[in-house]
Structure 1
Amino acid sequence: MNQPATKVLVIGYVWPEPRSSAAGGHMMQILETFLTQGWDITFSSPAALGEHKADLAALGIAECAIELNNSSFDDFICELAPDIVLFDRFMMEEQFGWRVEKCCPHALRVLETSDLQSLRDARHQRLRDHLKAHPDGEDFSALFTPALKQEFQLMADTDLAKREIAAIYRCDISLMISDVEIRLLIEQFKVPAALLHWCPLMMQPPTAAFAPFEDRAHFLSIGNFRHAPNWDAVLWMKNSVWPLIRQQLPGAQLHIYGAYTPPKATALHNAAQGFHVMNWAEDALQVMSAARICLAPLRFGAGIKGKLADAMLCGTPNVTTPIGAEAMGDDQPWPGAIEQNAPALAAAAVALYQDRERWTQAQEQGRQLLARRYDQALHGPALVACLEQCRRNLAAHRRDNFTGSMLRHHAHKSTQYMSQWIEAKNRNL
């Protein structure tokens, strides 16, 4: 007799937009991995529909809008009775975790962290402090290479870190896109390794021939403008990096693509300077495949960078910073260049743009890196195996995570009472 299909409920912070952000792309990779197992998936979210939402229904994934601070969710999840609940980012675990535990105590609770938001925010603050102290400085090496202990000290007193890491403890498994962040959590925050699973971007390594050097032109930068690290990178390019490139390549053109382009970004468009703000790319891989160099001068951030993975997928060498390359490579040569200040970034970009032999070598290094670190055929089955093993041993797994049990006991009570108070208040309005 056939076993019933595993039921998965995803509680999304937003509806997935794989063509707008790396987080949306990673969520779709996870959903596709579940679909290959024949699992029955429902995606729910309290968010409004975005402009570029994926067509989940076409994949056979049920969709359901849910509300914050509303007991209608309890009826919904009790009827669905999922075997696995995946929280898309820690804010959803804060909002709905206590309801999931109350209604479906035996469901495996999984957190998709996307990246450590508390790390990203702490690095953003460090950049602000650095710019105040050195308003005309261009050397950011002190920001790019801190030890994990320094990162911990930067994060440890923040409310955001306490909230985010508490959510990791309260869940049975947290999916971590960055192995550097796994080390940070284990070595500095003392999170048990059994609560963390490395789940990077999952891609099929390219096998077809790439467009060659001669058929490529221009520089490209891409990224959702709502993501603060991307906007900061655009400003740094505009003010520091791009003028240096144009000095050496007067005819150079930079095309900047990004979802949700705000007026402040459009205002930077200057065709005379070769600085083109292009809005959203209907097909990001197509425009990436036509470019000769991908620029990603990120001064802060966390996780791993979908734009750089896409560049490798398209055979487009990249020039980035240690923040951009963090957790993306290994001990083999990087498919492009990694630099720490504007003059070095510009020099590397110009040299790579003009050197056909080095460019072709970097293109092939990107193909090899994707195969080594991001092969869907390896990471998809590993994710499924992790979840199934945890389900089989759930009672012991939770017993070993006493800190998580304690945090659920206290935090869920306060969250529950606050949510119920808000719901009652809303009914009386």
Structure 2
Amino acid sequence: MFRVLIIGYVWPEPRSSAAGSRMMQLIEVFLARNWQITFASAAQLSPHRADLTALGIAEMTVALNCDSFNNQVHQLQPDLVLFDRFFTEEQFGWRVEAVCPNAIRVLDTEDLHSLRHARELQLKQQLAAAPAGSPYYALPPATNASVTDAVQWISHSDTGLRELAAIYRCDLTLMISPVEMELLQQGCGVPASLLHYCPFLLDEPPVAEGSDFAQRQDFLSIGNFRHQPNWDAVLCLKNTLWPAIRAQLPKARLLVYGAYPPPKATALHNPREGFIVAGWVDDAAAAMRAARVCLAPLRFGAGLKGKLIEAMQNGTPSVTTPTGAEGMHGQLPWPGAIADNNADFVNQAVALYSDPGQWQQTRDRAAVLLREVFPRPALTAALQQRLDDLIADINGQRQRNIVGSMLRHHLHKSHQYMSQWIAAKNRG
């Protein structure tokens, strides 16, 4: 039986984050092939994690910087190892290669962390260039930089170079966004043979009927509070956007949902202002179907946004930024509105909330978008074929990836020696 080891930075939480949903989608692809799966993580067991054992998936707790991991993987003898982020590959990749050199190594980036960090830096640079006293949360979203500019930021950052190195060290990297595919291939020169486009794998039917305009009320914002772009969006709403929306809609409410709200988030709760910090919600889809408009003022970020997919699936128009919608709609019209400045964001939100005709027209776009951009059968078949091709020609793939071989030789040594030093120090 073909054995798969997935090494996760955290245990998958499909109800908390898009990354958790994405991981469960990949697991479903592997299960459909009757592959034997083990999921390993050094993270603490979380209350919102998926019940992997119910799916027949073995769970394995591992330790950082410890040779016990080598023994565990040697006993398991996986045929394929999936790392869920580049720093997971940094920590464990050299250990996998040491004990199971023939195992295929696949990286799932979730999103390009270095691109997200570059855009956050751009936002801070915009603040530095703004007139003195300009409020940080009144700044518009970071403009989508050209490929050349993005490459400059990534190539001069520690995170960018580390992420590129991990991509080269692996046999295949799964990319969730076509924009990031273009950035890596055209901007950074990463060979297409090392990358595979695999966005969200969404089930049919694509859009729930839900209730109509008159039966819905409230604005909604949702996102894991531990994810910095989400927290930034909440603060933008609280400090800039929501007061302007409420000035035009004095009876409106904004329900802010998300996993792991810290005290600084719950302190923003103010029913008199219609700003309701609701925190964790057991059924995010039901909450989305009850809301009239989803607000996602993401000023920086990368990858695809699960909250906006969920809005489409539940018939809820959304207002977001160019960064929020990036890579998600091709040439198709957005099922809601995309605003590149605060004034437009406010006006679009108010219009969608107030105009039944505009609300219905934008809502109807979702079904076509989801069907054409995220066709699960075709995307799943393409992923399965790519993995089959890799399995059949893994030696050829590695011979062609000379840069990867070089990086594994040199960089793995540095990670190896540091990890071994920590392990020896821990032994006392």
TM over 0.5: yes
Aligned to 2:94: 98
SS of 1:33 mapped into structure 2: helix
Query: For 1:251 and 1:207, how far apart are their aligned partners in 2?
Result: 29
Aligned to 2:240: 240
Letter matched to residue 30 of structure 2 = F
Structure 2 residues not aligned, in runs of 5+ = none
Displacement after TM superposition at 1:247 (Å): 1.2
Structure 1: 4+ residue segments shifted above 6 A: none
Aligned to 1:132: 128
> Per the alignment, do residues 72 and 139 of structure 1 end up closer, same or farther by CA in structure 2, a change over 3 Å counting?
closer
Using the aligned pairs only, state the percent identity.
54
Query: For 2:338 and 2:175, how far apart are their aligned partners in 1?
Result: 23
Displacement after TM superposition at 1:207 (Å): 5.6
Q: Is the 8 A contact 1:118 1:155 kept in 2?
A: yes
Aligned to 2:152: 153
Query: For 2:91 and 2:145, how far apart are their aligned partners in 1?
Result: 33
For residues 147-296 of structure 1, the aligned pairs below 5 Å read: 147-205=146-204, 206=206, 208-296=208-296
Aligned to 2:74: 78
What do the CA deviations read for 1:308-342 (whole angstroms, capped 9, x no partner)?
A: 00000101000000010011111111100000111
SS of 1:144 mapped into structure 2: coil
SS of 2:173 mapped into structure 1: strand
Displacement after TM superposition at 1:420 (Å): 1.4
Query: For 1:393 and 1:339, how far apart are their aligned partners in 2?
Result: 46
Q: Is the 8 A contact 1:139 1:340 kept in 2?
A: no
Aligned to 1:376: 376
Q: Does 1:55 align with 2:51?
A: yes
Aligned to 1:10: 6
Letter matched to residue 165 of structure 1 = L
Letter matched to residue 388 of structure 1 = D
TM-score, length of structure 2 as denominator length: 0.97
Q: Is the 8 A contact 2:16 2:258 kept in 1?
A: yes
Query: For 2:156 and 2:366, how far apart are their aligned partners in 1?
Result: 38
Query: For 1:90 and 1:367, how far apart are their aligned partners in 2?
Result: 33
What do the CA deviations read for 1:234-276 (whole angstroms, capped 9, x no partner)?
A: 1111111111111111111100001000111111111111110
Displacement after TM superposition at 1:136 (Å): 4.2
Aligned to 2:63: 67
What do the CA deviations read for 1:219-242 (whole angstroms, capped 9, x no partner)?
A: 000000000000010111111111
Q: Is the 8 A contact 1:9 1:41 kept in 2?
A: yes
Query: For 1:214 and 1:330, how far apart are their aligned partners in 2?
Result: 31
Q: Does 1:121 align with 2:117?
A: yes
Letter matched to residue 220 of structure 1 = L
Displacement after TM superposition at 1:103 (Å): 1.1
What do the CA deviations read for 1:134-189 (whole angstroms, capped 9, x no partner)?
A: 22485636x32321111111221111101111000000000111110010001111
Aligned to 1:45: 41
Query: For 2:139 and 2:329, how far apart are their aligned partners in 1?
Result: 23
Q: Is the 8 A contact 2:207 2:314 kept in 1?
A: no
Displacement after TM superposition at 1:18 (Å): 0.7
SS of 2:183 mapped into structure 1: helix
Q: Does 1:419 align with 2:419?
A: yes
Q: Does 1:393 align with 2:376?
A: no
Letter matched to residue 247 of structure 1 = A
Q: Is the 8 A contact 1:293 1:353 kept in 2?
A: yes
Q: How many residues align?
A: 423
Query: For 1:265 and 1:332, how far apart are their aligned partners in 2?
Result: 35
Query: For 2:124 and 2:11, how far apart are their aligned partners in 1?
Result: 31
Query: For 2:245 and 2:367, how far apart are their aligned partners in 1?
Result: 26
Q: Is the 8 A contact 1:301 1:323 kept in 2?
A: yes
Structure 1 residues not aligned, in runs of 5+ = none
Query: For 1:30 and 1:297, how far apart are their aligned partners in 2?
Result: 28
Letter matched to residue 10 of structure 1 = I
> Per the alignment, do residues 208 and 268 of structure 1 end up closer, same or farther by CA in structure 2, a change over 3 Å counting?
closer
Q: Is the 8 A contact 2:110 2:176 kept in 1?
A: yes
Query: For 1:27 and 1:102, how far apart are their aligned partners in 2?
Result: 26
Displacement after TM superposition at 1:213 (Å): 1.3
SS of 1:82 mapped into structure 2: coil
Displacement after TM superposition at 1:133 (Å): 2.7
What do the CA deviations read for 1:398-425 (whole angstroms, capped 9, x no partner)?
A: 1111000000010111211221121111
Query: For 2:274 and 2:202, how far apart are their aligned partners in 1?
Result: 33
Query: For 2:229 and 2:120, how far apart are their aligned partners in 1?
Result: 8
Query: For 1:312 and 1:140, how far apart are their aligned partners in 2?
Result: 24
Query: For 2:330 and 2:210, how far apart are their aligned partners in 1?
Result: 23
Q: Does 1:26 align with 2:9?
A: no
Letter matched to residue 177 of structure 1 = I
What do the CA deviations read for 1:270-313 (whole angstroms, capped 9, x no partner)?
A: 11111100011111111001101000000000101000000001
Alpha-carbon RMSD? 1.2
Q: Is the 8 A contact 1:44 1:64 kept in 2?
A: yes
Q: Is the 8 A contact 1:90 1:164 kept in 2?
A: yes
Aligned to 1:353: 353
Letter matched to residue 424 of structure 2 = A
Q: Is the 8 A contact 1:241 1:346 kept in 2?
A: yes
Q: Is the 8 A contact 1:94 1:167 kept in 2?
A: yes
**More displaced, 376-385 or 287-296?**
376-385
Letter matched to residue 69 of structure 1 = N
